Amino acid sequence: MLYPLKFKPRIKERIWGGSAILRKRGKAAARLAKDKLYGESWDLSSVKGDISVVSNGMLKGNNLSELIEVYMGELVGEENFERYGLEFPLLVKYLDCNDRLSVQVHPDDTLAEERHGSFGKTEAWYVAECKEGAALYLGFKDRTISREEYIAAVAESRLEELLNKVEVKRGDVFFIPAGTVHALGAGIEVVEVQQTSDITYRIYDWDRVDSEGKSRELHTALAVDAIDFEADAEELHRRYELSKGGEAKVIESPYFTMTLHDVAERKELDRAGFDTFIIYICLEGEMTITADGIAESLAEGELVLVPAELNEVVVEGCGRLMEVYTLNK
């Protein structure tokens, strides 16, 4: 019988990372060198070479792809299994941006399949922590910018002049469809939910170099055909109101739906008719998720995957919870 599943984080060094992940991933980070920069914690993944491994219950030690192979639609939902096979549809990360990330763009499904035999990469950010005045870059200031103007700006190292800069606060949500030029700024920590794809076209890296004096590879030629020059940054900043004990659906896309819940004591989460897995991420506080009578505790920053075959979900505790799923319609 399936039950709510937890996984071991896979922690990555990044040139722009910091030390927050060492603190926030507890035992998973205990053996890591303390003098390194860690930028990403891959908390749920089926990317080849980085497949998540179960950390709780009788299935402990099995990886996510193995579970999908055995349980198929009972785990992910019949339509998801038919569409994605052994590949889990979503990748969930926690990012600690101690420095600015590169300005980048991701291809859509069509271009990614044509070039890489892969899915594209549409993603979303939830701002978990940020320093005062922290900002990110999302789309262009002028949505009428031409392909030629963009190419000239890149060649002349003045791309930053064209980018739309957005100051952030804790709890902000941003939707980043494939094709949207973007970059996270320094002093921001985010929960990132995305399609299962690791394809990134790096456009500009702020002229920085690594510890060996080497700059990272850029993909400016590949990026041009991937960019949506008319992306509406204002629309992609998903503003919402969340009352005590309430909920707010902040993203509904073909790739994933994201809902935020305020949890005050006990809350029943309706999933009637949902033939899909659901990921629950504890954003603030502590809580317990119970699915079909099987309980699993969640501390801040932890996630649990509730299989599609489990129907009755109750959350108890106090804090903020993210709910994410892929539902083919």
Residue among 103, 129, 123 nearest 187 (CA): 129
Q: State the SS3 of 112-126.
A: HHHHHCCCCCCEEEE
Please enumerate in sequence order all residues whose Cβ is within 8 A of that of 177, keeping only pairs 6 or more positions apart, or say none.
108, 122, 228, 231, 236, 253
Give the C-alpha distances (Å, rounded to integers) separating 135 from 99, 154, 196, 232.
11, 21, 26, 17
Question: Would you call 201 helix, strand, or coil by DSSP?
Answer: strand
Residue among 192, 228, 167 nearest 41 (CA): 192
Question: Would you call 142 helix, strand, or coil by DSSP?
Answer: coil
Cα–Cα dist 288/303, whole Å: 11
DSSP string, 138-163: EEES-TT--HHHHHHHHHTT-GGGGE
Task: Please give the positions annotated as active site.
Answer: 202
Residue among 229, 235, 231, 230 nearest 154 (CA): 229
Question: Would you call 149 helix, strand, or coil by DSSP?
Answer: helix
The 8-class DSSP code of residue 4 comes to -
Residue among 100, 99, 90, 84 nearest 124 (CA): 90
8 A C-beta contact, residue 248 and residue 153: no
Cα–Cα dist 33/80, whole Å: 39
Residue among 79, 54, 66, 52 nearest 4 (CA): 54
